[in-house]
Homo-oligomer: A and B are copies of this chain.
């Protein structure tokens, strides 16, 4: 049976102003375009305003300026997207819930498991690993010696955690992500590469979420550090000895090269990155495919990359890129000529 909630209950939880029928029953969430009368929707982006007049939603979370024109029930609040995020937890019934240690899991006798820890089939837990209360370890996860997992954290299937990795509380790590593999450190000896042993570890704070197929390497000397509240998407790469400040967000394929420190509340869009050995201040935003190529303490948005063109148009212009310096010199020469 599907759970349902009254609009009043939801308004109270969100601290939203209720406009309409407080007894309206809500059984789920949906987009303005697809919501039914038993569903709650929200308006958080200009692009979807056009659906506001035709939505069949039972109620919509909106900013005050939209409330008046709305024909259905409304929950009015300053940040409807945040309202949607918070209420989404009430409708998340499909999660797998695991409990206990599955008999096929291999848990070292020196490992310490807190109350209510769940360990799935075929997981491997190393020596002296500590897993705190309520943490949940998915099928096929491997955790190396001396690593720790904080309370309430959840590791999905086939995650690999190396030795000496410390993970905080309420951390979510999605499938097939790798934490603590060796950083990419080699010295060149007359053409041959000599491996630099990666002697540090990884520290991950609390309330961090890490996507699927992401990699966070262990430090060469000292630790790679991910501070509280950081969110990382899929296919992210964090090299050795990087530090990511609190609440920094990184989208798919974004990467930070070795020994770089990123401030708090930074945002890296898709395929953005930062070179190694630099320091980036708080509040820096790297747009898609932007390379942060030097230290900066100035908050704000940075870009590299090009716009999109029809290929024949692009080709003509791309060829000219290689003539830019020449063009600039010729332009200067013409200017000098015209000043005579």
Known: A88-B199, A96-B126, A176-B160. Is A327-B328 also a contact (CB below 8 A)?
yes
**Cβ < 8 Å to B, chain A residues 182-239:** 182, 184-189, 191-197, 199, 209, 211-215, 217, 221-222, 229, 231, 233-235, 237, 239
Interface hit among A66-74, A109-117, A252-260: A252-260
Q: Which residues of B lie under 8 Å from residue A177 when comparing CB positions?
A: 176
Known: A121-B124, A316-B325. Is A86-B181 also a contact (CB below 8 A)?
no
Q: Encode contact with B along A253-274: 1 for CB under 8 Å, 0 otherwise.
A: 1010100000011000011010
**Cβ < 8 Å to B, chain A residues 297-336:** 300-311, 313-325, 327-328, 330-331, 334-335
The contact of A196 among B84, B255, B265, B318, by CB within 8 Å, is: B84
Cα–Cα, bound, A191→B229 (Å) = 9
For A95, the closest partner residue in chain B by CB is B163
Asked whether, in the complex, the Cβ of A81 is within 8 Å of the Cβ of B187, the reply is yes
A99 touches B (CB below 8 Å): no
Asked whether, in the complex, the Cβ of B178 is within 8 Å of the Cβ of A212, the reply is yes
Nearest CB on B from A13, distance (A): 13
The contact of A186 among B122, B231, B271, B294, by CB within 8 Å, is: B231
Cα–Cα, bound, A124→B309 (Å) = 47
Known: A174-B178, A176-B158, A184-B251. Is A300-B311 also a contact (CB below 8 A)?
yes
A1 touches B (CB below 8 Å): no
Nearest CB on B from A139, distance (A): 4
Q: Which residues of B lie under 8 Å from residue A58 when comparing CB positions?
A: none
Q: Which residues of B lie under 8 Å from residue A231 when comparing CB positions?
A: 184, 186, 193
Asked whether, in the complex, the Cβ of A273 is within 8 Å of the Cβ of B273, the reply is no
Q: Which residues of B lie under 8 Å from residue A126 when comparing CB positions?
A: 96
A104 touches B (CB below 8 Å): yes
Asked whether, in the complex, the Cβ of B304 is within 8 Å of the Cβ of A187, the reply is no
Nearest CB on B from A146, distance (A): 7
Cα–Cα, bound, A127→B290 (Å) = 44
Asked whether, in the complex, the Cβ of A291 is within 8 Å of the Cβ of B309, the reply is no
Nearest CB on B from A175, distance (A): 4
Cα–Cα, bound, A308→B195 (Å) = 31
A247 touches B (CB below 8 Å): yes
Q: Which residues of B lie under 8 Å from residue A328 when comparing CB positions?
A: 320, 323, 327
Q: Which residues of B lie under 8 Å from residue A119 when comparing CB positions?
A: none
Q: Which residues of B lie under 8 Å from residue A174 when comparing CB positions?
A: 178, 181-182
For A265, the closest partner residue in chain B by CB is B191
Asked whether, in the complex, the Cβ of B120 is within 8 Å of the Cβ of A122, the reply is no
User: Which 4 residue pairs across A and B have the least CB separation, nearest first?
Assistant: A160-B175, A85-B187, A142-B157, A303-B314
A sample of 19 cross-chain residue pairs with beta-carbon separation below 8 angstroms, ordered by A number, consists of A89-B197, A94-B163, A95-B163, A104-B104, A124-B139, A156-B162, A158-B158, A212-B215, A234-B237, A252-B255, A255-B270, A291-B308, A300-B311, A303-B308, A303-B310, A317-B323, A320-B328, A321-B324, A334-B335
